[in-house]
Structure 1
Amino acid sequence: MQQNTEIVVVGGGYAGVMAANRLTQRDDVTVTVVNPRRVFVPRLRLHQLVGGTHDAVVAYDDVLAEGVRLVVDSVTRIDAAERSVTLAEGGTIGYDYLVYAVGSGSAGPQVPGAAEFAYPIATLDAAQRLRSVLADRPLAAGVTVVGGGPTGIETAAELAEQGRAVTLVCGAALGPYLHPRARRTARKYLARLGVRVIEGPKASVTAVTQESVELGDGRTLPSEVTIWTAGFGVPDLAARSGLRTDAAGRLITDETLTSVNDERIVAAGDSSAPSELPFRMSAYAAGCLGAHAADTVLHRIAGERPTPIDLSFSAMCISFGRHAGIFQLAHKNDVAAPLYFPGRAGKKLKELSCAFSVKHLVKEAEKPGSHSWPKDGKHRPQLLRTRRDDTTPSVA
C-alpha cells in the first residue's frame, strides 16, 4: 500500500498558492494551506483598493487546485523535530514536508510617531483601513506618501488622480530601480497628476505627528493623512521556531530552497533567503520560487536530488493611475536596462502583468507542473562564486 505524504504550506500568497497547486502532480500527497484569510489577496492591487478602483481579493476556489485543503488560521510555531505546526486557534497539524511562504509586509517604522500616526498599506486589512480613513477626509486634505518605491509611487498616483493633494517623500531617489531615463518619465507623470515629489540626500522622514511629517533637512510638511510604504519586513515565525534567518528575518536556505536547518522544510517568496542572497520581492519572483520549492519537495519524495534555483528577470512595472505606466525592461541579473515602455503601452503591460500573476496560479491549479519561467544560469552562480571568494580567508 502506497504511503500518503502530508505537506503543509504556511502562507496563501503568490508563492504559497503556486507551491500548493504544483504539489498536486502526485496522487499520493495531501496538501494543506494554512492562511489567516479566507480570500487570496493579489498584493499588486492594494494601492487600487486604497484608491477605490479594485477590491484586491480573489476567492481561493478560483486559484487553489481541487483537493488542496485550506485552513483559515495562523501558524504560531513550527516544531521541526516533531514535524508539526501549532495553530493560533488551537491544535496542531503534522507534516512530512513544509513549505514556508509567509510573505512580507512593511517593516515596523523606527521613525518617531510613524507607528502611531502613519498608515501602512502592505496588507489587506491595512489597505481597507486606509481606504476608510480617506473616505472620511475631504479631497482637499493633504496626503503624504512616504517611500519612493513602486508601492509609494503607485499609491501617490492613484490618489492624485482622484484629485487629492499628494506629496511623495522619496528619500534619496524616486524609483531607485528605474533606469535614469525612465525615472525622468516617472517624474513627468507624477507632475502631470499634481504630485509634489521630494527627493534627495536629506529627503527622508525623521518624525511623524498627527498633522505633519518632519524631514531630515529640517522642513516640516503639513499632512492630514500620512501613508507609510517604506521598508521591508517579514513575519518572525521562522526565528520564533528556532530556524536560522537572515537579519531581516527571512528563512535561510540553500540554493534548492531547502532550510539549512532541516531538509523537510523549504521556503519560497519574500520570506526566503537562498544562500543569504534573496531575490527582489515581486509577485513574479514569488510565483517562480513557489514552483521551485514544490519541485524540491517532489524531488525529495521521489528520492531524487533537488536542483538549484535558476531564475532570470526581464522587467518590472509601475502604474501612474489608470492611464499611464512604465514597463521597465531589465537585464537577466535584475538590473534596469535603458529600454522601457511608457504611457498607455506601459500601463497596458502593467495591467497584463497584474492579471497574469493570478492567471499563472489558475493555470497551475488546472494543469499542475505547467508553470515555467526564464532561466539565467550565469549571473547568480557568478554572484555566489564572487561572494564565496570574498569570504574565503586567505592562506599566508
Structure 2
Amino acid sequence: MAEHTSATNVPNVTGAADVAHVTNVVVIGGGYAGVMAANRLTQRDDVTVTVINPRRSFVPRLRLHQLVAGTHEAVVDYATVLADGVRLRVDTVDRIDAAGRGVTLASGDTLAYDYLIYAAGSGSTVPQVPGAAAFAYPIDTLETARRLRAVLEDTPLSSPVTVVGGGPTGIETAAELAERGRGVTLACGGALGPYLHPRARRTAAKRLAELGVTVLEGPGTKVTAVTADAVQLADGRRLDAHVTVWSTGFGVPDLAARSGLSTDAVGRLLTDETLTSVDDERILAAGDSAAPSDLPFRMGAYGAGCLGAHAADTVLARLAGQRPERVKLSFPAMCVSLGRRTAIFQLAHKDDTAMRLYVPGRAGAKLKEFSCEASVKHLVHEAAKPGSHRWPTNDAHRRAQLAERGGTPDAPVQAVVKAAAGHTA
C-alpha cells in the first residue's frame, strides 16, 4: 500500500460547500475501541481514517474462550464492522513520532497523521513465573487461542488441564473445556471471580463443581512454577497438567513508552479527561491502553467501545472549533459465562462495584450471549449511522476519585497526572 501523506489542516465548518482541506486520522489498533473510533469519525466528509491492525479480520475477544473449546471461530470480516471509506492497513506500528506527526510501520513504511488515536489494546502479561513462558498457553489473541485449540485437539480428553487465573477469562475457559468433557483444575491464585458479589461467586463455584471443575482458591493456590506436565503451587502442592492455560490478567503494549510518550506504571498512555495525551493534543487514547488522569477504567470490550467513541468525539469537537467534553462512563454489569447453557450477569453500582443483584442460569446465559452479539452490533450500527452510539454516563464516583488526587475533571490535568504517575518524560 502506498505511503499516506497528510495535508496541512484548517478545520472546516461541517456542511461547508467547498471542502478544501482534509484531516488525516490514523487509528492504531482494530479492536473494539479502534473500530468504534474510526466509524464515528466518518461523520465528516473532510476526514480520512486509516486503521492499522496486524490482521485482516476483526477479533471479538469476548469469544476467544469459545474458540479454544471449538464452539466459535471468533472472527468477523472487517467489511462487516468498518464503515465504508475507512482504510484498513494490515501492519504493525513500530514507533510513533509525535514531533513529526507520523508512525513508522514494521514493513518500513511511514504514515503521516493530523490526529492519532492510540487504541493498541491489551494482551496477556509476560509471565514471570519460572517455566510459564515455555510451557503455559495464553489465550489473549486470535493466534494464541488457535494455538491452544490445536494443542487440545491433539490431547486426549482424559489428560488433565490446569487453568491458571480465577478472573472472568479463567472461569469461562475452565467451564467451556469442562463442558466439552475435559478434566479441568482452576487454580485461582486468590479468590474465585473477585469482582463478583459473594452470592454470585457461590453460584459460580456451584456451577463449576457441577461441570466437574476442581476449583482451588486462596493465596496458597498461586502458581510458582510450570513444567511440561505439572504446575507447582505456593502451598507446595503439585498439580498434574498435560496442558496449562495462562489467564492471569492483561498487560498493554509498550509502544507508547518506546515512543517517548508519558505512560502509567503498566504502559497505558496518560491522558486528560478528554482522552487527549498529556504530551500532545494531536494524540488521543482509547480502550485498554488509555489511562485518563492515571485512573484507567476497567479493561474490557464495553469500556473500549465507549472510550473509542469518546476519543473520536474529542477529535470532532476540535475540528469544529468546540471545547471537547470530558469522558463520562459507568459500568452497569459484568457477564461471566459458565459454559454454553448458563452464565452470571452481575449487576454493578455506578462506582463499578458488584451489587447483590445478579442473573444466573439460562437467563444469565441469554444476557451474556446478547452482550457478546451487541459488542459487534454496536460497531456495525455505528458504521451505518456514525455518531449514534450512546452509553450510560455517571461520573460522581470519578469526580470524587479525582478530587482525592488533587485534581478536577474540568481543569487541565497534565501536571497532576504526571506528578501522580511519577513520570519524568
TM-score (norm 2): 0.91
In structure 2, the partner of 1:53 is 71
CA distance in 2, matches of 1:190, 1:145: 13
CA distance in 1, matches of 2:284, 2:198: 37
Partner of 2:306: 288
Specify every segment of 5 or more residues in structure 2 that has no aligned partner in the other structure, as ranges.
1-18, 408-415, 421-425
How far is 1:201 from its partner?
2.0
Structure 1: which amino acid aligns with 2:141? T
Deviation >3 Å, runs of 4+: none
Residue 169 of structure 1: how far off its partner (Å): 0.4
Matched to 1:132, the amino acid is A
- Which of 234, 253, 264 in structure 2 is aligned with 1:216? 234
**Alignment partner of 2:80: what SS?**
helix
Aligned to 2:47: 29
Deviation at 1:90, TM superposition (A): 1.6
Letter in 2 for 1:358: V
Give the Cα separation in 2 of the matches to 1:301 and 1:40: 29
Mapped partners of 1:94, 1:335: distance in 2? 42
For normalisation by structure 1, the TM-score amounts to: 0.98
SS in structure 1 of the partner of residue 274 of structure 2? coil
Picking from 63, 69, 81, the partner of 2:81 is 63
* Aligned mates of 2:238, 2:70 — CA distance in 1: 29
Pick aligned residue for 1:187 from 195, 198, 205: 205
Deviation (angstroms), 1:303: 1.5
Task: Return the alpha-carbon distance in structure 2 between the equivalents of residues 25 and 101 of structure 1.
Answer: 19
Q: Work out whether 1:150 is the aligned partner of 2:168.
A: yes
Q: What are the within-5 Å matches in structure 2 for residues 84-163 of structure 1?
A: 84-163=102-181
1:1-396 paired onto structure 2 within 5 Å: 2-388=20-406
- 1:268-299 CA deviation, whole Å, 9 max, x = no partner? 00000000000001110000000000000111
Q: Deviations over 1:10-33 (max 9, x none)?
A: 000000000000000001000000
Residues 162-208 of structure 1, C-alpha deviations (whole Å, 9 max, x = no match): 11000000011000000000000000010000000000121100000
**What is the rounded CA distance, in whole Å, between the counterparts of 2:222 and 2:366 in structure 1?**
32
Q: Which amino acid in 1 is paired with 2:248?
A: A
SS of corresponding position for 2:194: coil
In structure 2, what is the Cα distance between the partners aligned to 1:325 and 1:360? 22
2-structure distance, mates of 1:247, 1:231: 15
The CA distance in 2 between the partners of 1:387 and 1:321, in whole Å, is 41
AA matched with 1:17: V
Aligned to 2:13: none
1-structure distance, mates of 2:244, 2:130: 13
Q: Give the distance between the partners of 2:301 and 2:250, measured in 1 at CA.
A: 15
Structure 1 residue 53, shift from structure 2 partner: 0.3
The SS at the match of 1:339 is: strand
The 2-side partners of 1:377 and 1:252 are apart by 19
What is the DSSP-based 3-state SS (H/G/I as helix, E as strand, rest coil) of the residue aligned with 1:202? helix
Alpha-carbon deviation of 1:231? 2.6
1:239 and 1:379 map into 2 onto residues whose CA distance is: 29
Query: Equivalents in 1 of 2:316, 2:375: separation in Å?
Result: 23
The one-letter amino acid paired with 2:212 is G
Structure 1: distance between partners of 2:179 and 2:318? 51
Aligned-partner Cα distance in 2 for 1:89–1:201: 45
- Unpaired segments ≥5 residues, structure 1: none
In terms of mean alpha carbon deviation, does 87-96 or 12-21 score higher?
Answer: 87-96
Name the SS for the 1:3 alignment partner.
coil
Whole-angstrom distance in 2 between the partners of 1:21 and 1:232: 26
* CA shift for structure 1 position 251: 0.4
